[in-house]
Amino acid sequence: MEFSHERAGLMKTEALRDIPQVQGLLEHPRAAALSNTYSREEVTSALRWLLDQVRVNLLNDQSCELPDFDSSEFLSEVERTIELRRKTNLRRVINATGIVIHTNLGRAPLASDAVEAIRSVATSYSNLEFDLSSAGRGSRYDHVETLICELTGAEGAVVVNNCAAAVFLCLAAFAREREVIASRGELIEIGGSFRMPDVIEQSGAILVEVGTTNKTRISDYADAVTSETTVFLKSHTSNYRIVGFSSVPSRAELVETGRQYGLTVIEDLGSGVLVDMSHLGLPDEPVVRDILGEGIDLVTFSGDKLLGGPQAGIIAGRLEAIAKLKLHPLLRAMRIDKLSLAALEATLRLYPPYDNPFTSIPVLRSLATPLEALRARAQHVASQCREIEGLHAEAIQSVAYAGGGSLPQQDLESFAVSLHSDGVSAQTLADRLRMAATPVIGRLASDRLLLDMRTIEENDIPEIVGALKQYQ
Ligand SMILES: *Cc1c(COP(=O)(O)O)cnc(C)c1O
């Protein structure tokens, strides 16, 4: 035993010695060519890294022999490594899941005007906090406040970096060390560990839960008010719904009772829509203007959900309440950056007239695409896919979702291309598309890969077909 161990050790040492040296490989003509295409540093670094892999594999391997070493093949591997390293980590993917606002896939794609606004502000100086008319100091919030007020009927507005921060700021400003009353049925958790009770606690407010999971009456709120109460908080139960025997008080009741006790009534909408979307199969999503019209003091909503803009948290409502938020020290820690602000302003400017956002803002365009157009798109993609040998494709009816914590339960009729291959399983096909140069993310259903047409655009199609050709 001992003898063979020793012998094996010796053979390993010899095999390790046989691994080519970095210097030697760099002199190979192919390496010189690579250094011209890329840089010598990149080639050297990739070479070192791959040679280390060979060493590690050999040490872990049972056998003591170096596998045949082909320098040309090895240098091709060097090139693939450099190409991979050059790709950014965070990059474009094609969303073929049918979930329009997909938090894992970056939520709302921006309108081209918003992208142009980012480019312009990013590549230059800007009047971010400079008042051009007085040459004095300006406020970053001024660039969007009037627009938000015009679109929502609010008296004032302020914007922070996301909706979670917006809720947190409102509670810290109005309920720190005071009681906030909320319905038990609305104490939700939204993906990414945003739990309403935790947010309330972290803001320094004291949560008073009222009612039961399925029923809360206005008298439950009124009975819970003490001299310590400062806020009624209503939340959109974005990602779940209690059906059947359930009710919560109307906004009018909450507002009336809140007024009676001198409280601030806050509603966290999450998604927040600026225009009526009931004709798109989204009948229950309240419009911010209507909510404020019912007398709610402050509403909070995201910039990158159904609004279709950049990540941002918008707080709109009464002038004095907004003024208080603007003076709060936490605002500085949550402030929106200039690029998001530029994109938000440009997105908001696409809102009036009524029809415009449904063609110019990608999320709304996607929701508004007629079923017939999706059918035609699916048939078109399926026929291109069928030209690929071994691939079977058909256009089928499917169900898409608004997603993003905004009405995930709400189905949207859609069409998908259903794919299966002679050679590989649907799972493998999905894996390969996910690893393509532009990853394509579909969904699996009964051993088929479905590519939903609701969330793709015409210019994604050549890339999808290209990826299938290469990988199927
Ligand atoms: C999504 C959501 C939030 C969090 O919004 P972010 O912009 O992701 O921070 C808060 N409240 C509700 C009801 C939501 O749906």
Our mutation pick for probing the ligand 1 site, out of 170, 187, 190, 284, counting the most ligand atoms within 8 A of Cβ, is 190
Contact indicator for 441, 434 with CB cutoff of 8 Å: yes
Tell me which residue has its CA closest to atom 2 in ligand 1: 270
Ligand 1 centre and the CA of 227: distance in Å? Answer: 30
Model confidence, pTM: 0.86
* pLDDT (0 to 100) of residue 243: 61
* pLDDT (0 to 100) of residue 242: 61
| Pocket of ligand 1 from Cβ distances under 6 Å | 162-164, 167, 190, 194, 235-236, 238, 268, 270-271, 302, 313, 405
Instruction: Give the position, in ligand 1's atom list, of the atom nearest the Cα of 166.
Output: 9
Ligand 1 centre and the CA of 469: distance in Å? Answer: 39
Our mutation pick for probing the ligand 1 site, out of 168, 194, 409, counting the most ligand atoms within 8 A of Cβ, is 194
Ligand 1 centre and the CA of 198: distance in Å? Answer: 14
Ligand 1 centre and the CA of 374: distance in Å? Answer: 29
* pLDDT (0 to 100) of residue 464: 96
* pLDDT (0 to 100) of residue 288: 97
Ligand 1 centre and the CA of 162: distance in Å? Answer: 8
* pLDDT (0 to 100) of residue 10: 79
Burial of 190 (0-12, 13-18, 19+ CB in 10 A): buried
Q: Divide the 472 residues of the chain into consecutive groups of 10 and give the mean pLDDT of each group.
A: 68 84 92 93 94 86 76 90 86 96 95 98 97 95 97 98 96 98 86 82 96 88 97 82 73 97 96 89 86 98 96 98 98 97 98 91 96 98 96 96 69 95 93 91 96 96 94 72
* pLDDT (0 to 100) of residue 434: 93
Q: In the 3-class helix/strand/coil scheme, how is the chain assigned residue by residue?
A: CHHHHHHHHHHHHHHHHHCCCHHHHHCCHHHHHHHHHCCHHHHHHHHHHHHHHHHHHHHHCCCCCCCCCCHHHHHHHHHHHHHHHHCCCCCCCEECCCECCCHHHCCCCCCHHHHHHHHHHHCCCCCCCEECCCCEECCCCHHHHHHHHHHHCCCEEEEECCHHHHHHHHHHHHHECCEEEEEHHHCCEECCCEEHHHHHHHCCEEEEEECCCCECCHHHHHHHCCCCEEEEEEECCCCCCCCCCCECCCHHHHHHHHHHCCCEEEEEEECCECCCCHHHCCCCCCEHHHHHHCCCCEEEEECCCCCCCCCCEEEEECHHHHHHHHCCCHHHHCECCHHHHHHHHHHHHCCCCCCHHHHHCHHHHHHHCCHHHHHHHHHHHHHHHHCCCCEEEEEEEEEEECCCCCCCCCEEEEEEEEEEECCCCHHHHHHHHHCCCCCEECEEECCEEEEEHHHCCHHHHHHHHHHHHHHC
Instruction: Give the position, in ligand 1's atom list, of the atom nearest the Cα of 313.
Output: 7
Contact indicator for 272, 313 with CB cutoff of 8 Å: no
* pLDDT (0 to 100) of residue 17: 86
Ligand 1 centre and the CA of 150: distance in Å? Answer: 23
Instruction: Give the position, in ligand 1's atom list, of the atom nearest the Cα of 103.
Output: 8
